[in-house]
Amino acid sequence: MLEIKNLHVDLEEEDKTILKGVNLTVEAGKVHAIMGPNGSGKSTLSYVLSGRDGYKVTQGSATLSGVDLLDMEPEERAAAGLFLAFQYPVEIPGVGNMTFLRTAVNAQRKARGEDEMSAADFLKLVREKAKTLQIDAEMLKRPVNVGFSGGEKKRNEILQMAMLEPKMCILDETDSGLDVDAMKLVADGVNALRDPGRGFLVITHYQRLLDHIKPDVVHIMSDGRIIKTGGPDLALEVEQNGYADILSEGV
């Protein structure tokens, strides 16, 4: 589904190379996790895949279901089925949560040549999805993420993901700043979306999120490359021993 080959990326402002030959394949129906120390390039990978400005691809490719992602605008990538949950979700003052969600859902439907969702159908669906994430009606009426706690912002993003039903979900340190209860709620929302036709790439520092979102494959990233790949036990190894042993293997 997601195929990344020999991806090299520079930070434009500093003329600094961040990704130095990333190779990664995420299959439909699978959850892949990327772990690694600070500065290893994990978040940069998510930004480049979503089309964020400030990064220059100097070599390599990234495709989603065979379509070249790197040649698309960010909104085209979203319409093609890519979703990125941010480490720090942004606030959008003046834009109601419900308005934002309905506009996003219908924009993607239009891009795919589908009819827009009626107000009644949308309302029924969003209420059903919100209930599972313990998002109440008042939260749906507020401006996007304005005055939300960290946990509410993350739950709101999972609601967006549930409404948009993307093919490929990238979670960039979604567990950052969450307490145990909020993390479990977010993880439950993610697990409810696991599907044979959908892939996940979960970027995290810690094993604790992977206790709730069980990965099929775990990758360790360091200095802009994936240096080791294994099963869920690899995350436990990192939790117990840190990265030092694995990093020394990659030297």
Cα 70 to Cα 20: distance, rounded to the nearest angstrom:
16
Cβ atoms of 9 and 17 within 8 Å: the answer is: yes
Which one-letter amino acid corresponds to residue 226? Answer: I
Cα 156 to Cα 145: distance, rounded to the nearest angstrom:
8
Cβ atoms of 83 and 169 within 8 Å: the answer is: yes
Cβ atoms of 51 and 18 within 8 Å: the answer is: no
Both tokens of 17, joined, read 């190379």
Beta-carbon contacts of 227 under 8 Å, excluding residues fewer than 6 positions away, are 220, 221, 246, 247, 249, 250
Cβ atoms of 99 and 140 within 8 Å: the answer is: no
Specify the pLDDT at position 191: 87
Specify the pLDDT at position 34: 94
Sequential pLDDT tens for the chain (251 residues): 999 999 999 998 887 999 999 999 999 999 999 998 888 999 899 999 999 999 999 999 999 999 999 999 988 898 889 999 877 788 899 999 999 999 999 998 888 888 999 999 999 999 888 887 778 888 888 999 888 888 888 888 888 988 998 999 999 887 777 778 878 877 888 888 888 999 999 998 777 888 888 899 999 999 999 999 999 888 888 888 888 778 777 54
Indicate whether this model's pTM tops 0.75. Answer: yes
Q: Kindly report, residue by residue over 168-208, the tens digit of the pLDDT.
A: 999 988 777 777 887 887 788 888 888 899 999 999 877 78
Cα 70 to Cα 50: distance, rounded to the nearest angstrom:
9
Cβ atoms of 199 and 1 within 8 Å: the answer is: yes
Specify the pLDDT at position 250: 55
Specify the pLDDT at position 231: 92
Q: What is the 3-state secondary structure (H, E, C) of the chain?
A: CEEEEEEEEEECCCCEEEEEEEEEEECCCCEEEEECCCCCCHHHHHHHHHCCCCEEEEEEEEEECCEECCCCCHHHHHHCCEEEECCCCCCEEEEEHHHHHHHHHHHHHHHCCCCCCCHHHHHHHHHHHHHHCCCCHHHHHCEECCCCCHHHHHHHHHHHHHHHCCCEEEEECCCCCCCHHHHHHHHHHHHHCCCCCCEEEEECCCHHHHCCCCCCEEEEEECCEEEEEECHHHHHHHHHHCCHHHHHHCC
143 CB-contact burial (10 Å; exposed 0-12 / middle 13-18 / buried 19+): middle
